[in-house]
Structure 1
Amino acid sequence: MNLQKIAIAVIYLLVFTQIGIAQSNEHPNVIIIMTDDQGYGDLGSTGNPHVKTPVIDGLAKESLRFNNFYVSPVCAPTRASLMTGRYSLRTGVRDTYNGGATMASNEVTIAEMLKQANYTTGIFGKWHLGDNFPSRPSDQGFDESLIHLSGGMGQVGDFTTYFKGDKSYFDPILWHNNKKEAYDGYCSDIFTDNAIEFIEKNKETPFFCYLSFNAPHSPLQVPEKYYKQYANIDPSSGFKNDDRPFVKMNEKNKEDARKVYAMVTNIDDNLGKLFKKLDDLNIADNTLIIFMTDNGPQQPRYVAGMRGRKGSVYKGGVRVPFYMKYPMAFKGDKDIDNLATHMDVLPTLSQICNVDLPKEKSIDGKSLVPVIKGESINWDHRPLFFYWSRRYPELYNNMAIQKGNYKLVGHTDYDAEIENFELFNIHEDPYEQNNIILNNKNTANNLKKELDYTYKELINSENLVNQPRIIIGSDHENPVILNRNDASGQRGIWDQEEIYGKWKVSIKEGTYNIRFKFIKKVKANGKMYLETNTMVNQIVNQIDDTDIIEMNNIHFSDMDCDLIPFYNIGSKKILPFWVELEKIN
């Protein structure tokens, strides 16, 4: 009788164990690791003899390695496409600042999609898709967020670290669930430690962890112990017998490379801690890990022979490493040469995690699962559109389309003849050195037609034509601080004083107290203006040498407007560094 009970118990245990595995396999944990401005060549696994990345190299060895993986030439567009599976222009993201790095709130992110299966979601690091309601991570599906603002720590939009100068990556003030909090240590260590804590708290249920490092983006700041590992190397050496093109490096480039490699090695050590925690928690097999970078390197250095770097539509700007590891479902250590992009991540996760794709959205990406399974899929003829120019796409300027073996590149005028473009056979000429357009005009013209069609479709996207607005006076965010990253107006708004700037906002009716912060102190007897549609408020500043001017008890009706502030003194019109609006009733 006892033996019978034991046998029944064993059977029940086996059955429920198998059920548990099936349920777990249905909704695996997901970790996306993205680094910032780490180029294809900044890894040992991609042939760099200098940088020390044993953990990432080990991950590459155990992963599905997508060897033809492409992103956008710069940060915010890549992040918008990753999160939505769509070309960034569809989402309203068109720039990295100039008011063009805010994603429309009607977009559906990976985090929101995974919520269908009750995933707990967290982001740690760089968001760069909107710093105010309704475009913050917490508004777009993330349960926990620990981020810096705008495009980078120490940049003008991240006003909590900007004034720290060359120490902005150390002991920073970050935004945890939309509240300012002070942290001790180096930024990459902080983001990793908090991601690990998030994973520990949520190990019993499916989770999505987006660990989005701001390193090795400039400013190039790194703990001394990491820099010392590279202080005496020559980053331009070790390639003499290599027949690939290699960019020339001056002394500043070499010093920048040393710092970048030190920052990458710090990331590698942090990922070692993360992966060990997955093993310790016994969840490594059922955790899907993706490692990728957001674009090419910002500074000249080894990029595996490819032409161009960050901001360029040549391969060096848009081809990045992409490793996917999921032991429970896919055998690793496999090279996949099919064309793939950042837009493919969302539909891939939709299929692997058994959740529906966003409805009523045009998804430009494709699930990579058929390719992973070895099914006969010919995606080499899917067209890929690339562009990069400030503010909005400039027709045929730094613009490209890639399809099959050919890539058409424009660095020319809007009305240029086809001979002024470049055409590359990227199968025979992977480093894009030989322009073959004069002998292949028919191919070039066909590609140009496809380029024209894609360009016209994307620039007429609803979220681009009607740019997302920051909502002021809602219960979700009060006060609201408008930062320079999200200011539009004149091109290239950064930390200039005398420049025309504005913010696209939607104001809720109410009474507000407003503060204007300036980079440098301003003199008294100037006049502070605030224009909102037909309403203009002004006040004479009577405080000398102040960097804060206040306007209190201003009543606004409901309105969509350009919020235009400036301090007029003498012949100068000075744009505030940031504007804080607090609804008081």
Structure 2
Amino acid sequence: MNLKNLISTCIFISILFSFGTAQNVSHPNVLLIITDDQGYGDLGINGNPHIQTPVIDQFARESIRFNKFYVSPVCAPTRSSLMTGRFSLRTGVRDTYNGGATMAPEEITIAEMLKDIGYSTGIFGKWHLGDNYPSRPNDQGFDESVIHLSGGMGQVGDFTTWFQGDSSYFNPVLWHNGIQEKYDGYCTDIFAQQAIKFIENNKEKPFFCYLAFNAPHTPLQVPDEYYQKYKNIDPASGFENDERPFVKMTEQNKEDARKVYAMVENIDDNLAKIFKKLDELQIEKNTIAIFMTDNGPQQIRYIAGMRGRKGSVYRGGVRVPFYFRYPAAFEGDKDIETTTAHIDILPTLAEICGAEIPKDRIIDGKSLLPLINNRRVDWASRPLFFYWTRRYPELYNNISIQEGNMKLVGHTDYNADIQDFELFDIEKDPYEQTNLVTKEADVAKNLKTKLDKIYQELIHSGNILHPPVPVIGTKNENPVILNRNDADGERGIWSQEEIYGKWHVKILEGNYNIRFKFIKTVKGGGKMTLETGPVIHQKINITDTDLIEMHNVHFTETEGELVPFYSVAGKNILPFWVEIERIN
């Protein structure tokens, strides 16, 4: 260790043992803030002339800024990697719905890791890694949770807000420690208020607060006072002389951008309240505060000229802001240009907070502490793997590997020649406009070999081959409600009536009452059928209804597919949700 690094380390240790607060400074608080579908360009500090984000902008200026920070192209994979330090496929997460957004309960989360060393843990907002036991937040290390279900409020999986339609973000029924509870107000305000309450209740001991806003995810709903600030702007203006590439915006794109900017400003105002509370409690200096987003923007708008958006493996889909502030130990206002990613957060927090990283599994991430402390690291050979297609990764379709400055992208067939790929030098070509695959064919082939290896390794992960399932019949969750976000079967199950769907479950032996809820009233004169392997229960329904019940159904212990459907007038209709309650 050279003299400069030795001095830096000594200063860090000295701060930890001399900084005065009521808390144990060797275990700093952790406030991890993540927003949903907020792109790199949805901040004033990143060159957007229209959006007003003074609080986040100031936070970024005070922070260590990781300027080449990457996530997955969509939300559930990002969140599983964030929580575990592992590529999402290792955790069992392969999709955002279609039964692929449940993380294996054997995974060790940041919350579990920190809880083991005395932290209080809370999540407020979006989980999206499993809505049933044993994969809910409270099953995965969180003491306190106030969340919505599935991928978003107003989506089919979040059945307590789905029927609210255009007002699903207002006065919602949320899930407080697994129990439905009615709240008043706008969702972002509610999640921030609950986070502040958690921080106040745990100010005397170390805490991990995971504040996962669902905004600005669709549906784009925002209090009118915020929308009024943006209703007359032209989000496409101000870039006429900019040499960066921009996608032309339609009138609908512009209206969507206005709503998104309003939603983000509301987030900014709520973060002002949270940071103020940290200051009032005199714990701001001993709190690690992180701000990031989960992927690129869903709609077309300013994204600093990058190519692609949410769902894309191009940089516009996977490069996001990442700001890290810990005043008690590190100076802020610093830029780090080394490539980093969501998988690095768990090992970083483990090292700083004095927790132990799991030793019985592969941790793909690396601690960021050497970079923060200006120590030289050689991460150029670390590959980052990106993919996005529905259900499972499709070989060479919307898939990429990035190593150092070189990035190989596939939007082609499973047996395509190397010339059908794209190769970019993202240091020289940050907007991914110049394909070097012909000029640098050997580099491309080498990256493809590495891509093939990591793809095969991840797609054959144990949690992909044997995915996690809800366990029905335990005292931990009774009744269990199976929602459409977790339904497998046909691709793209959403709010359709005539579609084949099923849930993979484990049912403990016992007697159960079962309720089948439908989106619309179904006609009488049909038959409700429930298949669980070779055992089939059926009931004739004679009345028009949106709720059919079966009572005192006996199951032996079984693990497999649960297939419900209502047959009437030549149609097979999938229930909107299925509630299963063990009665003995």
- Please report the TM-score for the alignment, with normalisation by the length of structure 2: 0.96
Deviation of the 1:219 alpha carbon: 0.3
Q: Report the equivalent of 1:574.
A: 573
Deviation of the 1:510 alpha carbon: 0.2
Q: Distance in 1 between matches of 2:202 and 2:23?
A: 16
Q: Report the equivalent of 1:179.
A: 179
Q: Work out the number of aligned pairs and report it.
A: 569
Aligned pairs for 1:187-198 (under 5 A) are 187-198=187-198
Higher mean C-alpha deviation, range 552-561 or range 20-29: 20-29
The residue type equivalent to 1:483 in the other structure is: N
Deviation of the 1:24 alpha carbon: 2.4
The residue type equivalent to 1:464 in the other structure is: I
Q: CA RMSD in A?
A: 1.1
The residue type equivalent to 2:439 in the other structure is: N
Aligned pairs for 1:50-449 (under 5 A) are 50-449=50-449
- Alignment partner of 2:267: what SS? helix
Preserved CA contact (<8 Å) 2:21 2:283: no
Higher mean C-alpha deviation, range 240-249 or range 44-53: 240-249
Q: Distance in 2 between matches of 1:497 and 1:359?
A: 46
Q: Report the equivalent of 2:562.
A: 563
Q: Distance in 1 between matches of 2:439 and 2:376?
A: 32
Q: Report the equivalent of 2:5.
A: none
Deviation of the 1:359 alpha carbon: 2.7
Q: Distance in 2 between matches of 1:137 and 1:568?
A: 36
Deviation of the 1:21 alpha carbon: 5.7
Q: Report the equivalent of 1:583.
A: 582
* Alpha-carbon displacement from aligned partner over 1:116-149 (angstroms, at most 9, x marks no partner): 2110000000000000000000000000000000
Q: Distance in 2 between matches of 1:535 and 1:95?
A: 29
Please state if 1:492 is matched with 2:475: no
Can you give the 5+ residue segments of structure 1 that lack an aligned partner in the other structure? 1-15
Deviation of the 1:25 alpha carbon: 2.3
Q: Distance in 2 between matches of 1:372 and 1:379?
A: 14
Preserved CA contact (<8 Å) 2:188 2:266: yes
Q: Distance in 1 between matches of 2:191 and 2:380?
A: 37
Deviation of the 1:167 alpha carbon: 0.2
Deviation of the 1:345 alpha carbon: 0.2
Deviation of the 1:31 alpha carbon: 0.4
* Alpha-carbon displacement from aligned partner over 1:485-516 (angstroms, at most 9, x marks no partner): 00000000000000000001000000000000
Q: Distance in 1 between matches of 2:440 and 2:359?
A: 41
The residue type equivalent to 1:504 in the other structure is: H
Deviation of the 1:570 alpha carbon: 2.4
Q: Report the equivalent of 1:12.
A: none
Can you give the 5+ residue segments of structure 2 that lack an aligned partner in the other structure? 1-15
- Alignment partner of 1:365: what SS? coil
- Alignment partner of 1:438: what SS? coil
* Alpha-carbon displacement from aligned partner over 1:140-197 (angstroms, at most 9, x marks no partner): 0000000000000000000000000000000000000111111110000000001000
The residue type equivalent to 2:408 in the other structure is: L
Q: Distance in 1 between matches of 2:562 and 2:441?
A: 49
- Alignment partner of 1:192: what SS? helix
- Please report the TM-score for the alignment, with normalisation by the length of structure 1: 0.96
Q: Distance in 2 between matches of 1:259 and 1:380?
A: 39
The residue type equivalent to 2:568 in the other structure is: I
Q: Distance in 2 between matches of 1:352 and 1:440?
A: 41
The residue type equivalent to 2:172 in the other structure is: P
1:435 and 1:519, CA in 2 relative to 1: closer, same or farther beyond 3 A?
same
- Alignment partner of 2:159: what SS? coil
Q: Distance in 2 between matches of 1:26 and 1:117?
A: 11
Q: Distance in 2 between matches of 1:285 and 1:358?
A: 28
Preserved CA contact (<8 Å) 2:151 2:157: yes
- Alignment partner of 1:407: what SS? strand
Identity %: 69
- Alignment partner of 1:198: what SS? helix
